[in-house]
Amino acid sequence: MISIAVLGHGVVGSGVAEVLTINQGSITEKVGQPVVVKRILDLRSFPQLPYADKFTTNFDDIVNDTEISIVVETMGGLHPAYDYAKAALSAGKSVVTSNKELVAAKGDELLALAQANNVSFLFEASVGGGIPIIRPLWQCLAANEVEGIAGILNGTTNFMLTHMVQDGMSFEDALALAQQLGYAERNPAADVEGMDACRKICILASLAFGKHVYPDQVHTEGITHLTAADVRCAEQLGCVIKLIGKARRTEDGVYCLVAPMLVPKDSILSGVNDVFNAILVQGNAVGDVVFYGKGAGKLPTASAVVADVIDAAKHQGAPHCLSWEPAAPNHVLNSTDEAFSFLIRFETTEREALSARLVESFGDITVVNCLENELVVVTSPLSEKELSRRLSALPEAAPISCLRIASL
Ligand code: HSE
């Protein structure tokens, strides 16, 4: 019998207990012995549950229990999750986590610690919820040099954008519904301000390019400033707006960025709606591969966590060691140097005069007149640095919004 502990009995932690119970028979067959939850750490008690006797508020009951060989961390946040993960790995226990904040901040260190202790540190559920992406990236695509990754990595914002566009729902109502359905983070600012997607693209970029990309190195924009007018302009251009996490390898380093972008309707990512996520990986041998599925929610996320538990249980003593190295600060390039086409909206009643000035300054520019009292243009690809330089030379042209057009 394999005894495990679960840290945190929230949406994901309770889902892990549920999946281990409903699929007990097949999991036992796959592992070759039963996998049993021995302890659950939570500050709350759940007297109504049939496994109420397993709860503890003391981590020492877990880390000092030599029968427990796998610790599942689903608490979220950096502390105490990091301290508990470190203590469990140091005590020779494998750690499985769904915690992207933890992996994005401390992945290099925890992977090295796992390797030193000959145990697993696995985090399939940290990106894309139920979508298999971590294991395919480091195993199935191992023969490739990954050139780029782009994805819809946050289920909450994708759910919100879908309902705001398709049903005219307000930002607040769409967020409340996503929270009610268990998609959003404890603090939904991490979803709507892009930090959750940032942590996920950091994990993917670290894995794909072999060196740690830290969240504070990544330019991150959320969806809080988007308006119905932006959505209408996107529509007119044959695009939809999606929150995109993107990483691209160059000879000098890695570009990494999270921002709402216009996605052309002929791109496979444009049709990804609701809580679904999709991740496009470009390999130099395989070409483009897309991973699609439910990116958040109790059972989809628990599905990925329990798969890691099965992996850790089957490979005790000979763990799968994925790893990446710590990186120098210049590994991540300045995203303001990366070129994009931009959709820019200017408030004006003098469209023709402003458009003439913009043509003078930008040269190649396309006017898309989709809104009254506005001039809306699309630039040819240029860096954000260059865009700011040209706009600052036109003080009369203060944009009311500026969105990148995704190049996928
Ligand atoms: N809040 C996250 C999301 C949960 O909406 O994608 C899954 O990581």
> Residues 76-112: pLDDT tens digits?
999 999 999 999 999 999 999 999 999 999 999 999 9
Cα–Cα dist 239/231, whole Å: 9
Residue 363 · residue 353 · CB < 8 Å: no
Residues 130-146 have a mean pLDDT of 97
Does the pLDDT at position 220 exceed 80? yes
Any atom of ligand 1 within 6 Å of the Cβ of 123: no
Q: How far is the CA of 374 from the centre of ligand 1 (A)?
A: 36
Identify the pLDDT of residue 82: 98
Q: Which residue has the higher pLDDT, 197 or 364?
A: 197
Three-state DSSP string of 374-388: EEEEEECCEEHHHHH
Give the gyration radius of the chain's Cα atoms: 23
Does the pLDDT at position 397 exceed 90? no
Secondary structure (3-state) at 361: helix
Residue 165 structure tokens: 């566009």
Question: 2-130+298-314 has which fold?
Answer: Rossmann fold (3.40.50)
CATH class of 338-405: alpha beta
Return the axis-axis angle of helices 24-31 and 298-314, rounded to nearest 10°. 30
Give the rounded percent of residues in the chain with a pLDDT score beyond 70.
100
As annotated, the residues of the chain forming the CATH 3.30.70.1150 domain(s) are 338-405
Q: Which residues are catalytic?
A: 200
Identify the pLDDT of residue 251: 95
Q: How far is the CA of 156 from the centre of ligand 1 (A)?
A: 6
- Please give the helix or strand (H or E) that residue 367 lies within, else none: strand 365-367
Does the pLDDT at position 408 exceed 80? no
> What is the number of the ligand 1 atom nearest to the C-alpha of 178?
5
Residues 167-188 have a mean pLDDT of 92
**CB within 8 Å of 141: residues ≥ 6 apart:** 281, 283, 286, 289
Q: CATH classification of 135-294, choosing from 3.40.50.720, 2.60.40.60, 1.20.58.2030, 3.30.360.10?
A: 3.30.360.10
Identify the pLDDT of residue 155: 97
Identify the pLDDT of residue 88: 99
As annotated, the residues of the chain forming the CATH 3.40.50.720 domain(s) are 2-130+298-314
Q: How far is the CA of 11 from the centre of ligand 1 (A)?
A: 11
> What is the number of the ligand 1 atom nearest to the C-alpha of 183?
5
Any atom of ligand 1 within 6 Å of the Cβ of 185: yes
As annotated, the residues of the chain forming the CATH 3.30.360.10 domain(s) are 135-294
- Please give the helix or strand (H or E) that residue 283 lies within, else none: strand 276-283
CB < 8 Å & 24+ apart, contacts of 110-116: 110/82, 110/85, 110/86, 111/321, 111/322, 111/323, 111/324, 112/323, 113/86, 113/89, 114/89, 114/319, 114/321, 115/321, 115/323
3-state helix, strand, coil in the chain (%, to 5): 40, 25, 35
**Predicted confidence band at 143 (pLDDT cuts at 50, 70, 90)?**
very high
Identify the pLDDT of residue 195: 98
Any atom of ligand 1 within 6 Å of the Cβ of 154: yes
Listed residue (308, 312, 341) closest to 68, CA to CA = 312
Identify the pLDDT of residue 165: 87
Cα–Cα dist 65/378, whole Å: 61
- Tens digit of each residue's pLDDT (9 = 90 or more) over 102-120: 999 999 999 999 999 999 9
Identify the pLDDT of residue 299: 97
Residue-averaged pLDDT of the chain = 96
Burial 125-139 (b: 16+ CB within 10 A, else e): bbbbbbbebbbbbee
- Tens digit of each residue's pLDDT (9 = 90 or more) over 331-348: 999 999 999 999 999 999
Secondary structure (3-state) at 306: helix
**Predicted confidence band at 330 (pLDDT cuts at 50, 70, 90)?**
very high
Cα–Cα dist 402/385, whole Å: 13
**Predicted confidence band at 305 (pLDDT cuts at 50, 70, 90)?**
very high
Listed residue (193, 247, 256) closest to 223, CA to CA = 193
**Predicted confidence band at 71 (pLDDT cuts at 50, 70, 90)?**
very high
- Which range among 167-176, 244-253, 286-295, 378-387 shows the weakest confidence by mean pLDDT? 167-176
- Cβ atoms within 10 Å of 216's Cβ, excluding its own: 10
Residues 67-72 have a mean pLDDT of 98
Residue 96 · residue 320 · CB < 8 Å: no
Residues 284-308 have a mean pLDDT of 97
CB < 8 Å & 24+ apart, contacts of 26-29: 27/306, 27/310
- Show the DSSP H helices in 142-257 as ranges: 155-166, 171-180, 189-192, 195-209, 228-236
pTM of the shown model: 0.97
Pocket-testing residue among 126, 160, 185, ligand 1, by greatest number of atoms within 8 A of Cβ:
185
Identify the pLDDT of residue 370: 72
Does the pLDDT at position 194 exceed 80? yes
Residues 118-144 have a mean pLDDT of 97
Residues 227-231 have a mean pLDDT of 91
Atom 7 in ligand 1: residue holding the nearest Cα: 296
